[in-house]
Amino acid sequence: MAMTNEQIARINELARKKKTEGLSEAELEEQTVLRRAYIESVKANFRSQVETIKVIDEKTGEDVTPEKIKEAQRKNGMRD
Element (H, E) at 42: helix 25-50
56: three-class secondary structure by DSSP: strand
Query: How many C-beta neighbours within 10 Å does residue 51 have?
Result: 17
* 49-67 confidence digits (pLDDT tens): 988 999 999 999 999 999 9
- pLDDT for res 18: 97
- pLDDT for res 76: 84
Prediction pTM value: 0.73
* 19-41 confidence digits (pLDDT tens): 999 999 999 999 999 999 999 99
Q: Which amino acid appears at position 2 of this protein?
A: A
